[in-house]
């Protein structure tokens, strides 16, 4: 198992702004509703961002569903029976400690205030904490209120009448959809314990202090997997998921020095958790959760069984026992993961006296796998070969054609968005039917017959998946 980092390796990129401006300029991420001044904590994925995020989701699905015969997928609704959120404890306690400045009425999450970052969970619930520590508004220095618990769920109404009896919530996590479908999935897929249910989908949280770009949004996506196990195996299986989940990030190129595990202190554990360990990444704004791995015990299924009246026990044919399974959960998200892959792959180099910006993304994650570039856009024969090659490759994977600048500049543009290979069609191609493939990282070039280029690219791509 990879050991937790004890020293600080520093972030891959010193300034978050470097990534934010690259993301906007090149079409990865834009502020939502920007022409109206934006809306706080919602971001839109542009042409390259949607490719990157889809690739992240596919890579997760491959590792968690496709490559395993003990995990199946599910896509549950965002809206659920409101009782689900009462039973799960979200209506009662899915909240963060909120403090308000008495003079400018700005609101802050207590554990994100300067001076509040290292408070224990017990301190965060202490009504006298603001006074005791002398905390002040970080904007105007005004006095702050005592903390109160602010529920993070978005509420809306189902049907044409807006009254409390038809209030529903936008789900704040995908996990509950897997719990309430436990019986359906187990019986229809005939899975025996241990087995898992994986989901990717939107979740919503009315975060008090969102920020740090797509790290903390109010509308985001999650990639969560619920693994149902025998109670006596939960502790061991929990430990097994730790290296597996950390290794998924390194398999896709994250530097292991910027990853670590952090165990939740007993007073920090969520109401459902027996044990929780986060995979943390060294973001430019500090070590933060990338994914949480939780041993949830039998809390979820026992509660849903008690409140719904449905029997959610499992019958183990091997031991002839009936019991409520324990759940080991891995809870991450494609937004935070894509953000991490962007940051960690960013590098600036000097090449022949010029700055070269490279996104060294794993080829499987890169938005475009290949760019096909004509050396001379005024030669129709060259342009035609380039288009034909792009169209052929595009049947199997993402490929782009570009002729809007000189070749050197075209290469740099592709480097900056992480395209692993560029194919240049030149004058010689007309004679020898061959073209050059340039590698993003080594910048070396190799000449291959045009008819073999697609196969070569697809082989490189499958090698990159590992």
Which residue ranges make up the site for ligand ATP (CB under 6 A)?
173, 205, 207, 216-217, 220, 222, 289, 291-292, 331-333, 335-336
Which tokens in the block code for residue 170? 């936008």
3-state DSSP call for residue 290? Answer: strand
Using the minimum distance from each CB to ligand ATP, give the nearer residue, 336 or 413: 336
Using the minimum distance from each CB to ligand ATP, give the nearer residue, 281 or 314: 281
- What is d(CA 201, CA 212) in angstroms, rounded to the nearest whole number? 21
Q: Give the residue nearest to ligand ATP (CB).
A: 333
Nearest distance from C-beta of residue 50 to ligand ATP, angstroms: 16
Using the minimum distance from each CB to ligand ATP, give the nearer residue, 329 or 364: 329
Which tokens in the block code for residue 241? 């998921």
Asked if residues 466 and 251 have their Cβ atoms less than 8 Å apart, the reply is: yes
Burial 368-386 (b: 16+ CB within 10 A, else e): bbbbbbbbeeeeeebbebb
DSSP string, 297-310: TTHHHHHHHHHH--
Using the minimum distance from each CB to ligand ATP, give the nearer residue, 200 or 422: 200
Nearest distance from C-beta of residue 314 to ligand ATP, angstroms: 25
Nearest distance from C-beta of residue 406 to ligand ATP, angstroms: 40
- Residue 165's CB: how many other CB atoms inside 10 A? 8
Using the minimum distance from each CB to ligand ATP, give the nearer residue, 173 or 344: 173
Residue of 50, 61, 60, 57 lying closest to 367 (CA atoms): 50
Using the minimum distance from each CB to ligand ATP, give the nearer residue, 202 or 388: 202
- What is d(CA 70, CA 451) in angstroms, rounded to the nearest whole number? 41
Which tokens in the block code for residue 106? 């700005």
Nearest distance from C-beta of residue 66 to ligand ATP, angstroms: 21
Reported residue count of the chain is: 466
Using the minimum distance from each CB to ligand ATP, give the nearer residue, 217 or 373: 217
Q: Is the dihedral of CA 11, 17, 20, 25 positive or negative?
A: negative
Nearest distance from C-beta of residue 330 to ligand ATP, angstroms: 9
Nearest distance from C-beta of residue 451 to ligand ATP, angstroms: 44
Which residues touch 321 (CB under 8 Å, ≥6 apart)?
315
Nearest distance from C-beta of residue 209 to ligand ATP, angstroms: 10
Rg (CA), the chain: 25
Asked if residues 295 and 328 have their Cβ atoms less than 8 Å apart, the reply is: yes
Nearest distance from C-beta of residue 106 to ligand ATP, angstroms: 19
Using the minimum distance from each CB to ligand ATP, give the nearer residue, 43 or 346: 43
Using the minimum distance from each CB to ligand ATP, give the nearer residue, 220 or 227: 220
**Residue 73, strand partner residues:** 198
- What is d(CA 440, CA 418) in angstroms, rounded to the nearest whole number? 8
Asked if residues 327 and 296 have their Cβ atoms less than 8 Å apart, the reply is: yes
Nearest distance from C-beta of residue 331 to ligand ATP, angstroms: 4
- What is d(CA 437, CA 431) in angstroms, rounded to the nearest whole number? 17
Nearest distance from C-beta of residue 189 to ligand ATP, angstroms: 25
| Residue 41, phi then psi, degrees to nearest 5 | 70, 20
Using the minimum distance from each CB to ligand ATP, give the nearer residue, 182 or 249: 249
């Amino acid at each position: 198992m990879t050991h937790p980092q004890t020293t600080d390796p520093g972030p891959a990129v010193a300034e978050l702004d470097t990534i934010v401006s690259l993301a906007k300029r090149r079409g990865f991420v834009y502020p939502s509703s920007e022409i109206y001044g934006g809306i706080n904590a919602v971001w839109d994925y542009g042409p390259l961002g949607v490719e990157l995020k889809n690739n992240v989701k596919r890579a997760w699905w491959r590792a968690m569903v496709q490559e395993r015969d003990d995990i199946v997928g599910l896509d549950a609704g965002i809206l659920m029976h409101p009782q689900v959120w009462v039973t799960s404890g979200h209506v009662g306690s899915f909240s963060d400690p909120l403090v308000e400045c008495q003079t400018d009425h700005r609101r802050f999450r207590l554990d994100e205030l300067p001076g509040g970052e290292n408070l224990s969970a017990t301190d965060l619930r202490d009504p006298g904490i603001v006074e005791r520590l002398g905390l002040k508004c970080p904007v105007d220095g005004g006095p702050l209120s005592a903390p109160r618990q602010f529920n993070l769920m978005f509420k809306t109404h189902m049907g044409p009448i807006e009254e409390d009896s038809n209030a529903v919530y936008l789900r704040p996590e995908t996990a509950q959809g897997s719990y309430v479908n436990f019986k359906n999935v187990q019986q229809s897929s005939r899975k025996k314990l241990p087995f898992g249910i994986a989901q990717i989908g939107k979740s919503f949280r009315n975060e008090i202090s969102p920020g740090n770009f797509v790290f903390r949004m109010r509308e985001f996506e999650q990639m969560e997997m619920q693994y149902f196990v025998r109670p006596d195996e939960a502790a061991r299986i929990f430990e097994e998921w730790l290296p597996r989940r950390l290794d998924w990030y390194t398999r896709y190129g994250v530097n292991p020095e910027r990853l670590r595990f952090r165990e939740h202190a007993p007073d920090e554990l969520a109401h459902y958790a027996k044990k929780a360990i986060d995979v943390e990444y060294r973001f430019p704004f500090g070590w933060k959760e990338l994914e949480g791995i939780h041993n949830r015990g039998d809390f979820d299924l026992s509660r849903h069984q008690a409140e719904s009246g449905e029997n959610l026990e499992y019958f183990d044919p091997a031991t002839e026992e009936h019991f409520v399974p324990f759940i080991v959960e891995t809870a991450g998200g494609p937004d935070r993961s894509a953000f991490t892959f962007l940051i960690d792959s960013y590098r600036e180099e000097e090449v022949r006296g010029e700055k070269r910006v490279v996104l060294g993304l794993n080829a499987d994650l890169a938005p475009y796998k290949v760019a096909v570039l004509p050396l001379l856009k005024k030669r129709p024969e060259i342009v035609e070969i380039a288009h034909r090659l792009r169209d052929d490759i595009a049947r199997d994977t993402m490929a782009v054609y570009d002729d809007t600048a000189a070749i050197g500049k075209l290469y740099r543009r592709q480097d900056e968005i992480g395209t692993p290979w560029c194919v240049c069609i030149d004058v010689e191609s007309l004679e020898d039917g061959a073209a050059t493939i340039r590698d993003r990282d080594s910048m070396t070039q190799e000449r291959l017959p045009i008819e073999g280029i697609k196969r070569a690219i697809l082989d490189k791509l499958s090698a990159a998946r590992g």
